[in-house]
Amino acid sequence: AGMNLPMVIESYSARFSGQDPKDVIKGIVGEAKKGVKVFPEEFNPQEEKPAALAKKAGSANLPTSGQIQYVLARIDTRLLHGQVATGWTKAANPDRIIVVSDNVAKDKLRKNMIAQAAPSGVPANTVPIKKMAEVAKDVRFGKTKAMLLFETPEDALKAIESGVDIKELNVGSMAYSNGKVNVNQVLAMDQEDVDTLKKLRDMGVKFDVRKVPNSSPENMDELLKKAQSLIDGNK
C-alpha cells in the first residue's frame, strides 16, 4: 500500500478529529510524501526541494522588531519526533522549532537528525541555552512564533533563569533511566527532577502535562507527590 510512519501517525491523529474522510485521505497522502527523504541531500532532484525553499524564504523574511512568541515550550526526552512534528506542530502552528540544549548543540549527528525531522516549511534549529537567551532579546526574531523543545526540566529551568520568558511548560515525556521512578507511562523522575519542577512551579510556571494534544492533561502536583513518595520509599 506504500505506507510509512508519518502516514500512520497522521491517520491516527485524524481519527479523533471528526474530519470528513475525503479530507483525511488527502492529509495522510500528503504526510506520506513528506516522509520520504533522500540521503545524502545532494542526491535530491531539484523539484523535490520545497521544504528547503520554504526555509530560505522564512530566513529572508525574519521580522525586524518586536519580541519572539513562544507558541509551545515542551519538555520531551526524545525532542523532535513524529508526535511533535505532526500533532503538536499542527496544534501550536509555529513557524520555527528550536531545540534548546547544551548537549545536543555539541552533537553534530543529533543536530542533523533534528533538522531532517522537521515538518515541511517549519525549520528546526538547535541552540545552546545561552544562545537562546540571546535570541529571546534579539529584535530580528520579533513576532517569530517558536516552538521550544527541552530535553530535561533542568534545561528549561536554566533557560528561564537566563531570561527566556516562558509562562507555561508542556511536559510530554521524561524517559526512565537508572535512579528514576516511573510516575506514569511516559514520565520518570529522580529527586533532581522533582526539585526542579517544584522550583519552576514556585516561580509561577504553569504545567500542561500531556503527551499528545488530544489527551487529557494530568495534575503536576499529584505527579510530584507520587514521585516523591516512590523516591522516599526506595531510600
The per-residue pLDDT for range 71-82, each reduced to its tens digit, is: 999 999 999 988
pLDDT of 34 reads 66
> Cα(42)–Cα(102) distance, rounded to whole angstroms?
29
The pLDDT tens digits for 140-154 are 877 789 999 999 999
The model's pTM is 0.73
> Cα(181)–Cα(198) distance, rounded to whole angstroms?
16
Q: Is residue 82 part of a domain?
A: yes
- The distance of Cα 45 from the centroid of its chain, to the nearest Å, equals 29
Question: Which one, of 215, 138, 143, 135, lies nearest residue 172 by Cα?
Answer: 215
Q: Is residue 47 part of a domain?
A: no
Question: Which one, of 169, 162, 210, 211, lies nearest residue 193 by Cα?
Answer: 169
pLDDT of 49 reads 39
Same domain, yes or no: 227 and 120? yes
Query: What residues act catalytically?
Result: 81
Q: Are 217 and 171 in contact (CB under 8 A)?
A: no
Q: Poorest-confidence range of 63-72, 74-83, 156-165, 210-219? A: 63-72
Same domain, yes or no: 125 and 175? yes
Higher per-residue pLDDT: 40 or 141: 141
- Domains identified in the chain, total number: 2
Question: What percent of the chain has pLDDT above 70?
Answer: 80
Same domain, yes or no: 19 and 61? no
Confidence of residue 30 (pLDDT cuts 50, 70, 90): low
Coil/strand/helix, residue 70:
strand
Higher per-residue pLDDT: 126 or 42: 126
Question: Which one, of 126, 144, 133, lies nearest residue 67 by Cα?
Answer: 144
pLDDT of 177 reads 92
For the chain, what is the mean pLDDT? 84
